[in-house]
A and B are shown apart, each in its own frame.
Chain A
Amino acid sequence: MVRENLQNWITSWNKKHSSEISDFKEAVYLIRKSPLTIVGLSIILMLIIVAIFAPYIAPYDPITMHLDNRLAPPSKAHLLGTDELGRDILSRIIYGAGIALKIMIIVLAIDLPLGILLGLIAGYFGGWIDEIIMRLSDIFMAFPRLILAMAIGTALGPNLRNTMIAIALTMWPVYARLARGETLSIKERTFIEAEKALGTSNLKILVFNILPLCLSTLIVRATLDMGNIIRIAAGMSFLGLGAQPPTPDWGLMISTGRKFLISQWWVPTFPGFAILLAIFGFNLLGDGIRDISDPHLRRGRQ
C-alpha cells in the first residue's frame, strides 16, 4: 500500500515536472557532449576543493616568514620555491584560491540582487524611475571597469573588502539592464494581465511571476562574468590598489614578486598560472552554459 502510494506520488511528480526533468536531462546530455565544458567544470571543482581544504592540502603556513630560506628555487621541499620572505609559494597559491573565490562570490552576491531589484523596478514601473535608473547605468557603463574600480577602490581605501565593493559597483548595470529587458517582455504577456485583473499586488507579481522568469538569463550572464571578476580583482591587487600584504592574494603575489622576475623567475610566474587557470575554467564553463541555454546556438551545434 505504502509502496503503491509512493509509486503513484513519484509518477505524478514526474508527470508534473516532466518538462523540467527533460530540460535537465538535455542539459546534462549537452554538457557531456561538450568536452570543453567538462574541462571547465573540473577546473572549477578542483578550485573549490582546494579552497575548502586549503589548511589540509597546503604543506606550509601561507603567512609565517622563514627569512633563512628566502627565494629558494623549486625543490622537493618547496615544489614551487619560496618568495622573498621565505614563504612556500605553493601554499600561498593554495590559500589564494579561497580568496579569489570569495571575491567572486561576494561581488555576485551584491550584484545579482542589486541588479535584479533595480532592473525589475525600472522595467515594471517604467516612466521617470526607469529613466533615472537607466541613465545612471549608462554613466557607470561609460567607464572602463578597471578604471572605475580603481577610482572607487582608492576613494574607499585600498583593501580586499573595498575591492569587492568597487568591482560590484562597476558591474550592477549589466544585471539591471538584463533584468529590465526581461521584465519588459514578460510584463506584456497575458498571464500578468490576468494576475493584475485578479487584483494581485505589484510586489507579488514582481516576486512570484516575473523574478523566476528573469533568473536563468541573469545566472547565465553571471557565469560568463565570473572570470572577469577574478581578473579585475587580480589587476587591482597587482597595481597595489587591492589586497594588501601579507594576504596570499594571487595578484598581490605577482606584484610583490615582480622585482625578482629576472633573478628568481618562479616568484611572480607561478601565481600567474593560477590566475590563468581559474579564469580559463570559468570562461570554459560560462561558454558551455551559454551555449546550452541558447536555443539558437543549440540548433547551430547540431
Chain B
Amino acid sequence: MLKYIVKRLILFVIVIFGVVTVTFFLSHVIPSDPVGAILGENAPQELVEKIERQLGLDLPLGQQYTRYIKGLINWNFGISLRTQKQVSEDMRVYFPATIELALFALFIAIIFGISIGIISAVKRNLLPDNISRVFSLVGISMPAFWLGLLFILILYYHLGLIPAGGRLSPHISPPPMVSGLYLLDSLIAGQFKTFWDALYHLLGPALVLGWIQTAYICRVTRSSMLEVLNEEYIRTARVKGLKEKIVIFKHAFRNASIPVLTMIGISFGYLLEGSVLTETVFGYPGLGRYAVNSFLSLDLNAVIGSVTLIAICYALSNLIVDLLYVALDPRIKY
C-alpha cells in the first residue's frame, strides 16, 4: 500500500509538470496577437516591441519556457495586461471566492444528494424514487449557465429571493482577510451582518452548482445502496429483527459509502469547471470569471496562471480521491 501511495505521488508530480508544460505551449502557439489585442491595431511599432520585450515574447520559445518554469517555482506568473496587477496577486483575491462557492455548493450537494439517494434506494420504484430519478436526470442534463439565467429571472427578478450578482452588497465592506472565505472571515471578525450578506450572495450560484452535483451524488448513492441492499448480510440483519433505521444507516450505507466518497471527490473537480460558467452568469468575482475574461482578452499571463491553478486543484482532488479509496476499502490491495 505504501508502494502504491509513493507511486501515486510520483505520478502526481509528473502530471503537474505535464500540465504546466501543456498550458505553456498552448498559450504560446496562439496565432492571434496578444499585444495587438491589448493595444489595438494602430499601436505604434515601438510600443508593441517594448511590451513584447517586457513580457519576454521576443525571446526564443525555449528561453521563454525556462523563464516560465523559474517564475512558476516562485509562484510568479508576471503581470496581467488586463488588470495591470501581478497575476498571483489577482488570483489571491479571486481564488478564495471560488473555493468558498465550491465548498458551499458541495455542502448542499452532499446533504441533499446522499439523503435523496438513500430514500430513492429504499423506496425503489415507488413514487419518491421516480421523482428523484427524474430530478437527478434533469440535473445532470442541465447546462449550468442556463440554469443560472433562469435563477436570475425567477428568483431575483420575480421573487426577489437572491441578489442580482456579486459577492457582497456595495455598502458592505469585505471582512478582514484571514482565509479569504467571506463566510468564515466575517464570523471570525464577529461581523454577522457581513456574514448574512455574503451568504445571501452565495445562494444563487451555489444552488445552481449544488443542484447539478446533487444529481450526480444522488445517482451514485442510489445505485450503490441498491447493490448493498441486495446482499445477504442485510437480510440477516433484518431477520435478526434490527430496526430498519439501523439496517439502512449502519449496515447498508456504511458499505455503500465508498463509491459515494469517490463521487464527492470527482464532484469537486466538476465544481471548479462549473464555476467558470456559473460565475460568469452571476457576475461572481471568482477565479472562473477571471479565467474567462483573461481568455477573451488574450491576457496571456493571466490565462496561464488561472489554468495552472485550476488544473493543480483538480489534480489534487483526484489524488485525494485515489488515496481515500485505498484507505477506506479494505478489499483493495496494491
Contact = CB atoms under 8 A, between A and B. Distances in A.
A272 B227 CA distance: 35
A142 B227 contact: no
Nearest to B292: A239
Given A155-B26, A275-B146, A280-B141, A142 B15 contact: yes
Contacts of A287: 137
Bin chain A's interface residue count.
35 or more
B140 interface: yes
B319 to A, nearest CB: 10
Most chain B CB atoms below 10 A, which of A239, A269, A283: A239
Interface in B223-265: 226-227, 230
A78 interface: no
Contacts of A138: 11, 14-15, 18
B291 to A, nearest CB: 7
Contacts of B149: 254, 258, 261, 268-269, 272
A110 interface: no
A144 interface: yes
B141 A262 contact: no
A157 interface: yes
B9 interface: no
Given A151-B26, A154-B303, A157-B31, A142 B143 contact: no
Contacts of B291: 147, 150
Interface stretch (B47-55, B168-176, B192-200, B306-314): B306-314
A168 interface: no
Interface residues of B, number: 51
Contact of B315 (A142, A254, A268, A284): A142
- The residue in A147, A150, A268, A276 that gathers the most chain B C-beta atoms within 10 A of its C-beta is A147
B287 to A, nearest CB: 11
Contacts of A139: 14-15, 18-19, 22
Interface stretch (A4-12, A68-76, A198-206, A227-235): A227-235
Contacts of B22: 139-140, 143
A239 B143 CA distance: 13
B27 interface: yes
A265 interface: yes
A135 B14 contact: yes
A283 B140 contact: yes
A280 B296 contact: no
B277 A143 contact: no
A238 interface: yes
B125 to A, nearest CB: 10
A235 B141 contact: no
A272 to B, nearest CB: 4
A150 B153 contact: no
Contacts of A136: 18
B106 interface: no
Interface in A234-293: 234-235, 238-241, 251, 254, 258, 261-262, 265, 268-269, 272, 275-276, 279-280, 283-284, 287
Interface of B: 11, 14-16, 18-19, 22-23, 26-27, 29-32, 137-138, 140-146, 149-150, 152-153, 157, 226-227, 230, 269-270, 272-273, 276-277, 280-281, 291-292, 295-296, 298, 303, 307, 310-311, 314-315, 318
Interface of A: 36, 135-136, 138-140, 142-147, 150-152, 154-157, 227, 231, 234-235, 238-241, 251, 254, 258, 261-262, 265, 268-269, 272, 275-276, 279-280, 283-284, 287, 300
Nearest 6 CB-CB pairings of A with B: A139-B18, A272-B146, A144-B273, A279-B141, A280-B141, A142-B315
29 contacts: A36-B137, A138-B11, A138-B14, A142-B311, A143-B22, A143-B307, A145-B273, A146-B276, A147-B273, A147-B311, A150-B276, A151-B27, A151-B303, A152-B26, A154-B295, A155-B29, A155-B30, A235-B145, A238-B145, A239-B292, A239-B296, A254-B149, A258-B149, A261-B149, A265-B153, A268-B146, A272-B146, A276-B141, A280-B138
